[in-house]
Amino acid sequence: MKKKLLSILLAGTMTAAMMSTCAMAEDVDYSADEGEIYMFISSPEYADAITELIDAYSEVAPNVTINYETTQNDYPTLLKAKLNSGEVPDIFSSTSGKEIDTYKEYSYDLTGQPIVDAMDPGVAAAMESPTDGSGCYGFAIKGNYFGVVYNKDIFAEAGVEAFPQTTEELIDACQKITDAGYKPFTTGFAEWWVFKHVAQHFVNAAAENAGITTAELISKFEKGEAKVSDYPELYNNFFDFIDLAVANGDDKPLETDLAGEEAAFGNGEAAMVCGQGAWIEADVLAINPDLNIGFDGYPVSDNADQCRVITGSDQALHVSSESENLDAVLHFVNWWYTSEYGQSWFTDVAGVVPPIVTDAQSDFEVINQGAAHVAEKGAADLSICLSTDGWHQTFGQIMQDYIAGTTDKDATCQAIEETWPTIDGAEAEAMTE
């Protein structure tokens, strides 16, 4: 089912720019390109859509072969192994923000390319080096919304009149949902990246209540200057949420992955989905087209105003600066962002928040409700981009050990405090000098 989406990342209209970039795409003789492009990226939830994109490109560039590989759970480890062995993919992915600098030496600066003119300004800013604000070292498949996806019908049947905005309201809602015969949560805790999506909401609240920015708080952890126990939103509220989700969720939380979450939610077994966002809507509607989807922020404290959704572009795709077929790769990514098909691909095929300048409208509930929440409460910081996926993957493993019961809360906090500086902090920088 084709969907039209609204790009919340854009303010104003850019019709002239859209027309000019489309013209650039049409002026290129793609049939003159030849060779192979190796595309190794995360986000397997978009595998079918990217396969359609590649098939469409083969019609305009028949002599170019795109070898596409995707994985999720072990992606950072596999990518680093490829880079260390000299097998740099022509197109690879990372988070945006801090990881732009992590992979800058491998990434082609897209400044001056048509893709940059087509990119939403907010997305383009997330692709610059955070150290000096220079260059454009990536592009995005999508914008994003992060929060709690929930089933409005289950909530209504359980007598929960509105989505909980505080931690106490969430506990009460879980009891009512359980009494109504449903699982309050499906968690996806087999996936390391689910934990970063959840934790960022509590990190934002901890920083706000401490009177500092989220970036400042994360910097303290990177320098080894902060303790988790210093911030009740983390030491109490975050761990209480994880405990609540485990106690009121999947029978085997460490064996439930993205597909398991989508199945449990789509089949009406679970009322809320942990660690997911706009990207699951098409899949769960394919299971049940009549699903009554709700979307809200995480209840992170006793302050309802801090229950906010997060929006932004968290993922970057990079073009290898060492590509043997650089011209062909650049033609492909420019066509992706500027051709008529490529621009419609985001809305009509992938069903995502477009990372491009567009005035397309949406009938996706997560997108529309996310936009409404941002308009009412503002968006919380996309704090996952302030750390690398190397840290996030380790953090996910630390939390999986906690859920498995092999470590208690204090030992888990100690592992977080000791490991963060070695991966993203001064200790890690010292080891690379």
- Distance from C-alpha of 279 to C-alpha of 293, rounded to nearest angstrom: 13
Q: Please give the pLDDT value at position 199.
A: 98
Q: What's the confidence (pLDDT) of residue 222?
A: 96
Is the pLDDT at 362 greater than 50? The verdict is yes
Is residue 432 predicted with pLDDT exceeding 80? Answer: no
Pairwise pLDDT comparison (241 vs 8), residue with the higher score:
241
SS3 164: coil
Residue 350 pLDDT exceeds 90: no
Alpha helix positions (H), 61-213: 75-84, 98-102, 114-118, 121-126, 152-157, 167-179, 192-210
Task: Using pLDDT thresholds of 50, 70 and 90, give the confidence band for residue 9.
Answer: very low
CA-based diameter of the chain, in Å?
Answer: 65
Provide the token pair at 115.
């893709």
Average pLDDT over residues 203-225: 97
How far apart CA 395 and CA 196 sit, in angstroms, is 8
Token look-up 């009554």 returns 292
Is the model's pLDDT at 53 over the cut of 60? yes
Q: How far, in Å, CA of 61 to CA of 414, rounded?
A: 53
Q: Is the pLDDT of residue 379 over 50?
A: yes
pLDDT tops 50 at residue 123:
yes
- pLDDT average, residue stretch 342-370: 84
Percent of the chain with pLDDT over 90: 76
Q: Which amino acid is at 359?
A: D
Report the pLDDT value the prediction gives residue 12, as an integer from 0 to 100.
32
**Dist. CA 404–CA 384, nearest whole Å:** 24
* Neighbour order of strands in the sheet with 35-41: 64-70, 35-41, 91-95, 315-319
- Given a cut of 70, is residue 26 above it in pLDDT? no
Mean pLDDT over the full length of the chain: 90
Residue 374 one-letter amino acid: V
* C-alpha span between 217 and 237 (Å, rounded): 17
**Does the pLDDT at position 310 exceed 80?**
yes
58: how many CB neighbours lie within 10 A of its CB?
A: 13
Under 8 Å CB-to-CB from 167, ≥6 apart: which residues?
A: 237, 240, 241, 299, 300, 301, 302
The more confidently predicted of residues 65 and 351 is 65
Over residues 124-144, the pLDDT tens digits come to: 988 999 888 889 999 999 888
SS3 361: coil
Lay out the sheet containing 183-186: strands in order across: 183-186, 270-273, 148-151, 293-296
Rounded to an integer, what distance in angstroms lies between the CA atom of residue 227 and that of residue 396?
18
Looking at residue 6, what is its pLDDT? Answer: 30
Contact criterion met (CB below 8 Å) for 218 and 387: yes
Give CA–CA dist 92/41, Å, rounded: 5
User: Encoding tokens for residue 14?
Assistant: 């850019």
Residue 27 has pLDDT above 80, yes or no: no
Four-CA torsion 389, 325, 349, 379, nearest 10 degrees: 30
Helix (H, G, I), strand (E, B) or coil at 149: strand
**Pairing relation of β-strands 315-319 and 91-95?**
antiparallel
Domains and CATH numbers, the chain: 15-143+314-360 (3.40.190.10), 148-308+388-432 (3.40.190.10)
Strand ranges, E, within 334-381: none
Mean pLDDT over 226-231 rounds to 98
Mean pLDDT for the stretch of residues 200-211: 98
Mean pLDDT of 338-357: 88
